[in-house]
């Protein structure tokens, strides 16, 4: 397998782009930037001549976008801003859904939707709780918290390190995981609230987490320049991948579970084979830190975003 550049969109935002998420069931993806805008993009054209065009902008994201996500049905998107205010919108018409979710200063960072397995399932957003050092589940339409998960801390760590940066929810909805500045990864069973796994292998901030499509494993992107692979049910370490020359900022597991992509502050996008646990390709198209990588739900496309204000879309061959 290898990545092939399909399209590079220069100056896609007016400032650094920190976050990206594909829309399930569509050839669309969402990006969020420090320029206080969320842009929706669409791929069109033929296999020989692909075009990436901006189809909508959601403006007024206070102080800039930290995290964007789209729910598993492709019907809703969400953005969290640097001042911990979350807006949820409908992907059909881009109207705001429900009331703005307002956390306290620095009390939210990364966000992810809980998977919806039926139309009757509520629209629930998972949040990395920032300075509160917890994970939250929030019912969007009722605008209320429905669950809290306290991240265990290392008492020897300084208080400033107790900041939850990342959150991920397993595709089957069974687990929620979080990690933060102190490098601790905590995995909880959603239904019971029980802590089922914990890893202290990382000693530096864990910027991003991602589950495998079968919900059995969780992958981490860390400032220690490593990518960790852990068993979801226990937190036990399966493998540690090395290859980035600086912080690893983004990670995404391919829908077939055979490869994963990472982005780093070294400006590189790397493709990793999960059977051999090795890097099989390094791409150097960006000129600055790569904050986010995301696969389309059909696995045919990877998007990466960077401080260089560009978006790059690749095909997986």
| Long-range pairs for 186-194: beta carbons < 8 A, 24 or more residues apart | 186/135, 186/149, 186/151, 186/152, 186/235, 187/218, 187/230, 187/232, 187/233, 187/235, 188/135, 188/149, 190/114, 190/137, 190/147, 193/147, 193/149
User: How far apart, in Å, are the Cα atoms of 205 and each of 68, 165, 286?
Assistant: 20, 8, 23
pLDDT for 108-128, tens place per residue?
999 999 999 888 899 999 999
Q: pLDDT of the chain along its 317 residues, tens only?
A: 999 999 999 999 999 999 999 999 999 999 999 999 999 999 998 877 899 999 999 999 999 999 999 999 999 999 999 999 999 999 999 999 988 999 988 899 999 999 998 888 999 999 999 999 999 999 999 999 999 999 987 655 544 578 999 999 999 999 999 999 999 999 999 999 999 999 999 989 999 999 999 999 999 999 999 999 999 999 999 999 999 999 999 999 999 999 999 999 999 999 999 999 999 999 999 999 999 999 999 999 999 999 999 999 999 99
Taking the C-alpha atoms of residue 75 and residue 97, their distance in angstroms, rounded to an integer, is 11
Per-residue pLDDT tens over the stretch 146-174: 999 999 876 555 445 789 999 999 999 99
* The Cα angle at residue 185 between residues 184 and 187, in degrees rounded to 5: 145
- Is 302 within 8 Å of 295 (Cβ atoms)? yes
Q: For residue 146, give Cα distances in angstroms to 112, 202, 298.
A: 15, 30, 32
């Amino acid at each position: 397998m290898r990545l092939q550049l399909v399209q590079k969109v220069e100056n896609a935002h007016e400032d650094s782009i920190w976050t990206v998420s594909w829309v399930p069931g569509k050839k669309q993806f969402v990006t969020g930037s420090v320029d206080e805008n969320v842009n929706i993009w669409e791929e069109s054209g033929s296999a020989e001549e692909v075009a990436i065009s901006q189809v909508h902008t959601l403006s007024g994201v206070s102080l800039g976008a930290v995290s964007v996500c789209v729910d598993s049905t492709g019907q809703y998107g969400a953005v969290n801003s640097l001042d911990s205010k979350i807006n949820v919108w409908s992907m059909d018409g881009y109207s705001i859904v429900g009331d703005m979710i307002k956390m306290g200063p620095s009390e939210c960072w990364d966000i992810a939707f809980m998977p919806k397995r039926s139309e009757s399932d509520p629209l629930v957003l998972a949040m990395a709780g920032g300075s509160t050092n917890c994970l939250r589940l929030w019912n969007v339409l009722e605008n209320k918290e429905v669950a809290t998960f306290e991240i265990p801390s290392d008492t020897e760590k300084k208080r400033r390190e107790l900041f939850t940066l990342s959150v991920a929810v397993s595709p089957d909805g069974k687990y929620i995981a979080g990690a933060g500045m102190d490098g601790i990864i905590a995995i909880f069973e959603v239904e019971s609230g029980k802590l089922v796994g914990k890893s202290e292998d990382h000693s530096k901030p864990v910027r991003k987490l991602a589950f495998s499509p079968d919900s059995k494993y969780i992958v981490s992107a860390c400032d220690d320049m490593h990518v960790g692979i852990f068993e979801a049910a226990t937190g036990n370490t399966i493998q540690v991948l090395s290859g980035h020359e600086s912080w690893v900022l983004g990670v995404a597991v391919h829908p077939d579970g055979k490869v994963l992509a990472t982005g780093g502050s070294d400006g590189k996008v790397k493709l990793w084979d999960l059977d051999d646990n090795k890097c099989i390709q390094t791409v150097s198209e960006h000129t600055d830190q790569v904050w986010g990588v995301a696969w389309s739900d059909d696995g045919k496309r990877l998007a990466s975003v960077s401080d260089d204000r560009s978006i790059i879309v690749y095909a997986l061959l």
